């Protein structure tokens, strides 16, 4: 008896494991770009360009046995004579030195390669902040009188976070050594200026594992104003959602529950707009928005009422024929008796809609919110065209600008991509059931 049953069972197991294997292959294909993105976003520039697969940040090496942080006062004095090779406008006004006597393992590796070992000095430069580009300063590293490296560094004085590690030298300060800058910046000490006085800095020298780990994200965030973009995207999505939900419910209710002449005709026109690809209406819509902008400026005296403002970014998408269609289908299913009973109680359409229909339609409303929310967050082409400044530029456009600027720094690019994806991922993981089911039954992106 047992022998007879064993074979089909074994075959069944074989089939099932093949099934799971194929499904897993599918999942791996769907996910590997994300894994690549995360891995790359944790690498240093050197790791990516030497095709290292597993970033050092994901090992324990950099975080074990970290030196203790301390707060020190750096005396500043006029620059030494050897600085003379650089153009005078770029001269640091003052300079000081910080002694580093212990380092992390990756930095030790670097130092060994250069034939160095701690202790060494870090130059700290109090530079001229009134240069051509505000907030940026050009530094010249020179040996004796020869300029050997030039670098533009962002100095954020207001935040008092002046990080500067490139210039490392032994006690004999006329012989500077240049370590691989990105690695040093990441694994080296973080210098935070607590207080800057005319003649001294109070500097906090720390080795923070969190900063080391998320270094690319922090750099990307600071370099590309991601905070602003993120906030813009959140604002825009919320504004658009309020508009879409309000206008769609009203219109859908009218189509589902009210009688008026021309109902079918108007509904057909609404549905026809679903066929229009964005690229067809791109040019005329841009022209319309420009003219609206001019009209508001001339007649109402409001400058930039449309361009570079939330209006141009959200208002055209507040009427979504698809959302109206979806809601109408649902509203039409609500029993008519309910409405008649409410009418007898003297309840008008608006009150009926707000107090009876809406509480019953949580599921389709959720679908609409998710679809339009994702659509708004992911929107790219239109925001790219109607924004020229950062004031309302959403994160997708910000990311594309960042990609343009950091084309060579793939690790930063991937950190930016991760930042853009994370809010959507969080939303998706919490609502994925409504989501996949909503899309399966409706079948469209917002």
Partner 1 sequence: MPGSTRGTDGFKASKGMSAQKRREALQAYLFLAPATILLFVFGILPVGYAFFISLHQWRIQRGAFTGLRNYGRLLGSPLNLLLLAAGIGMLIGAYYVWRSIATQPAGWRTRLRIALAALLIIGGLTLVLGMDRALAAAAEERMTMGYLLSVLRTVFYSAGTVPFQLILAFLLANLLFQKIRGRSLFRMLYFLPYITPTVATAAVWTTVFEPRRGLLNTILMQIFHMSESNLPRWIFDSTGIVPLMGQWLGLSLPDWVAASPILSGPSLAMIAVCIYNIWVFTGYNTVIFLAGLGAIPYELYEAARIDGAGRWQLLRHVTLPLVSPTTYFLTMMGVIGTFKAINHIYIMTQMVGLGGPQDSTTTAAIFIFKQFREGNRWGVASAAALTLLGIILLLTWIQDRMAEGRVHYA
For the chain, state the CA radius of gyration: 30
Q: Is residue 43 helix, strand or coil? A: coil
Q: How many CB atoms lie within 10 A of CB 29?
A: 9
Q: Minimum CB separation from partner 1 for residue 318, in Å?
A: 6
Interacting residue with partner 1 among 26, 69, 135, 209 (CB under 8 A): 26
User: In this complex, which beta carbon is closest to partner 1, that of residue 334 or of residue 421?
Assistant: 421
Binding mask 406-445 for partner 1 (x = CB under 8 A): -x--x--xx-xxx-xx--xx--x---xx-xx--xxx-xxx
Q: Minimum CB separation from partner 1 for residue 240, in Å?
A: 12
User: In this complex, which beta carbon is closest to partner 1, that of residue 93 or of residue 272?
Assistant: 272
User: In this complex, which beta carbon is closest to partner 1, that of residue 262 or of residue 359?
Assistant: 262
**How buried is 110 (Cβ within 10 angstroms: 0-12 exposed, 13-18 middle, 19+ buried)?**
buried
Q: Minimum CB separation from partner 1 for residue 421, in Å?
A: 5
User: In this complex, which beta carbon is closest to partner 1, that of residue 266 or of residue 342?
Assistant: 266
Query: From CA 402, how far away is CA 396, in angstroms rounded?
Result: 10
User: In this complex, which beta carbon is closest to partner 1, that of residue 151 or of residue 278?
Assistant: 278
User: In this complex, which beta carbon is closest to partner 1, that of residue 191 or of residue 417?
Assistant: 417
Cβ-contact 236, 313 below 8 angstroms: yes
Among 108, 101, 143, which residue's Cα sits nearest to residue 122? 101
Q: Minimum CB separation from partner 1 for residue 138, in Å?
A: 27
Q: Minimum CB separation from partner 1 for residue 229, in Å?
A: 11
Q: Minimum CB separation from partner 1 for residue 235, in Å?
A: 17
**How buried is 307 (Cβ within 10 angstroms: 0-12 exposed, 13-18 middle, 19+ buried)?**
buried
Tokens of 105: 């393992």
Q: Minimum CB separation from partner 1 for residue 367, in Å?
A: 13
Tokens of 14: 């074989």
Work out whether 37 is an interface residue with partner 1 (CB under 8 A).
yes
Q: Minimum CB separation from partner 1 for residue 342, in Å?
A: 14
Output the 3-class SS for 123-137: EEEECCCCCCCCCEE
Cβ-contact 33, 164 below 8 angstroms: no
Q: How many CB atoms lie within 10 A of CB 263?
A: 12
Q: How many CB atoms lie within 10 A of CB 167?
A: 23
Largest CA distance in the chain: 98
Q: Which stretch binds partner 1 (CB under 8 A): 58-66, 95-103, 119-127, 316-324?
A: 316-324
Work out whether 237 is an interface residue with partner 1 (CB under 8 A).
no
Interactions with partner 1, residue window 250-309 (CB under 8 A): 250-251, 253-255, 258-261, 263, 266, 269-270, 272-273, 275-288
Interactions with partner 1, residue window 344-403 (CB under 8 A): 349-350, 374, 377-378, 380-381, 385, 395-397, 399-400, 403
Among 444, 435, 248, which residue's Cα sits nearest to residue 358? 248
**How buried is 160 (Cβ within 10 angstroms: 0-12 exposed, 13-18 middle, 19+ buried)?**
middle
- Alpha helices for 273-320 (secondary structure H): 278-299, 310-314
User: In this complex, which beta carbon is closest to partner 1, that of residue 97 or of residue 328?
Assistant: 328
User: In this complex, which beta carbon is closest to partner 1, that of residue 111 or of residue 374?
Assistant: 374
User: In this complex, which beta carbon is closest to partner 1, that of residue 105 or of residue 403?
Assistant: 403
Interacting residue with partner 1 among 247, 339, 354, 390 (CB under 8 A): 247
């Amino acid at each position: 008896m047992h022998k007879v049953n064993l074979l089909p069972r074994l075959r069944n197991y074989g089939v099932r494991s093949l099934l799971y294997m194929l499904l897993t292959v599918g999942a791996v294909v769907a996910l590997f770009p994300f894994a690549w993105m995360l891995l790359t976003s944790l690498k240093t520039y050197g790791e990516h360009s030497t095709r290292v697969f597993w970033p050092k940040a994901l090992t324990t090496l950099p975080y074990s046995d970290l030196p203790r942080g301390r707060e020190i006062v750096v005396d500043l004095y006029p620059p030494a004579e050897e600085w003379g090779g650089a153009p005078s406008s770029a001269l640091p006004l003052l300079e000081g030195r910080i002694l580093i006597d212990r380092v992390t393992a990756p930095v030790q590796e670097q130092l060994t390669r250069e034939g160095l070992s701690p202790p060494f000095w870090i130059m700290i430069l109090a530079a001229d902040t009134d240069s051509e580009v505000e907030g940026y300063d050009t530094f010249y590293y020179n040996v004796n009188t020869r300029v050997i490296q030039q670098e533009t560094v962002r100095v954020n004085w207001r935040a008092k976070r002046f990080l500067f590690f490139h210039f490392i030298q032994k006690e004999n300060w006329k012989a500077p050594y240049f370590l691989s800058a990105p690695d040093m910046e990441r694994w080296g000490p973080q210098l935070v200026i607590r207080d800057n006085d005319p003649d001294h800095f109070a500097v906090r020298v720390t080795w923070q594992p969190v900063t080391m780990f998320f270094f690319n994200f922090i750099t990307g965030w600071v370099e590309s104003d991601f905070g602003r973009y993120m906030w813009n995207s959140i604002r825009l999505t919320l504004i658009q959602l309020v508009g879409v939900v309000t206008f769609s419910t009203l219109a859908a209710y009218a189509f589902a529950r009210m009688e008026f002449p021309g109902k079918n005709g108007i509904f057909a026109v609404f549905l026809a707009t679903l066929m229009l690809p964005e690229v067809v209406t791109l040019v005329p819509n841009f022209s319309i928005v420009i003219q609206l902008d001019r009209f508001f400026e001339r007649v109402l005296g409001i400058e930039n009422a449309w361009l570079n403002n939330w209006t141009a970014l959200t208002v055209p998408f507040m009427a979504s024929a698809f959302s109206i269609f979806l809601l109408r289908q649902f509203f039409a299913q609500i029993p008519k008796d309910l409405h008649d009973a409410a009418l007898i109680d003297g309840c008008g359409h608006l009150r009926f809609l707000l107090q009876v229909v809406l509480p019953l339609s949580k599921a389709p409303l959720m679908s609409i919110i998710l679809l339009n929310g994702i659509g708004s967050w992911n929107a790219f082409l239109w925001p790219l065209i109607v924004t020229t400044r950062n004031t309302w530029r959403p994160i997708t456009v910000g990311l594309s600008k960042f990609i343009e600027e950091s084309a060579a720094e793939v690790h930063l690019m991937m950190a930016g991509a991760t930042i853009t994806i994370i809010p959507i991922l969080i939303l998706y993981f919490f609502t994925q059931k409504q989501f996949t089911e909503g899309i399966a039954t409706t079948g469209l992106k917002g």
